[in-house]
Amino acid sequence: MKKLIILAGATLSLLFAGCAKEEIRTLSVIPAPLNVELQQGVFLLKPGTGLYIDASDGDKTILEGCLAASSMRLKPVTTEEGHTIVLKQVEQLPEVNSSEGYVLTIDPDRVLIRATSGAGLFYGVQTMLQMADEKGLPVGTITDEPRFAYRGFMMDVSRHFFDKEFIKKQIDALAYYKLNRLHLHLTDAAGWRIEIKKYPRLAEFAAWREFSTWKEWWNNGRLYKEEGDKDAYGGYYTQEDIRELVAYAQERFITIIPEIEMPAHSEEVLTAYPEFSCTHEPYKQADFCVGNEKTFEFLENVLTEVMELFPSEYIHIGGDEAGKASWPACKLCQTRMKKENLKDVNELQSYLIHRIEVFLNAHGRKLLGWDEILEGGLAPNATVMSWRGTEGGLKAVDAGHKAIMTPGEFCYFDSYQDAPYSQPEAIGGYLPLAKVYSYNPVPDTLSADKVSLIYGVQANLFTEYIPTPEHAEMMIYPRILALSEVAWSAPVVKDYKDFYIRALKASDELKTKGYHPFDLKKEIGNRPGADQPISHLAVGKKVVYGLDAAYYPGYTAGGDTALVDGVVGGWTYGDHRWQGFIDKKGMDVTIDMEQETNIHSVGADFMQLCGPGVFMPAEVIISISNDGKEFTELKRIEHKVVKDEQLSFTHFGWEGETKARYVRYQAFSGEFGGFLFTDEIVVK
CB of 74 within 8 A of CB of 99? no
Domain formed by 3-144, architecture:
2-Layer Sandwich (3.30)
pLDDT of residue 21: 41
Contacts of the segment 248-252: beta carbons below 8 A, 24+ positions apart:
248/168, 248/171, 249/171, 249/182, 251/62, 251/65, 252/62, 252/66, 252/122, 252/171, 252/172, 252/174, 252/175
Strands 137-144 and 102-106: antiparallel
Predicted local distance difference test score (pLDDT) of residue 583: 79
In which region does residue 615 sit, left (phi positive, over 0), alpha (psi from -120 to 50) or beta (all else)? beta
The residues of the chain scoring below 70 in pLDDT are 1-26
Q: Burial of 529 by CB count in 10 Å (0-12 exposed, 13-18 middle, 19+ buried)?
A: middle
Q: What is the pLDDT of residue 22?
A: 39
What is the spatial distance between Cα 448 and Cα 439, in angstroms, rounded to a whole number? 19
Is CATH 3.20.20.80 correct for 150-522?
yes
Residue numbers annotated as active site: 188, 265, 321
State how beta strands 191-192 and 110-115 pair: unpaired
Say what the pLDDT of residue 26 is. Answer: 53
Angle between helices 164-176 and 469-476 (to 10 degrees): 20
Alpha carbon distance 568, 551 (integer Å): 17
Using DSSP's 3-state secondary structure scheme, residue 636 falls into strand
pLDDT of the residue at 5? 43
Query: Partners of 677 in the beta sheet?
Result: 580
DSSP result, 477-491: TTHHHHHHHHHHS-G
How many residues would you count in the chain? 684
Cα–Cα distance measured from residue 233 to residue 231, given in angstroms and rounded to the nearest whole number: 7
Domain boundaries, the chain: 3-144, 150-522, 542-683
Q: Is the peptide bond before 533 cis (omega within 30 degrees of 0)?
A: no
pLDDT value at residue 531:
86
CATH, domain range 542-683: 2.60.120.1190
Q: How far is CA 147 from CA 33, 106, 122, 150, 299, in A?
A: 10, 24, 17, 9, 36
Please, are residues 602 and 664 in contact by the beta-carbon 8 Å criterion?
A: no
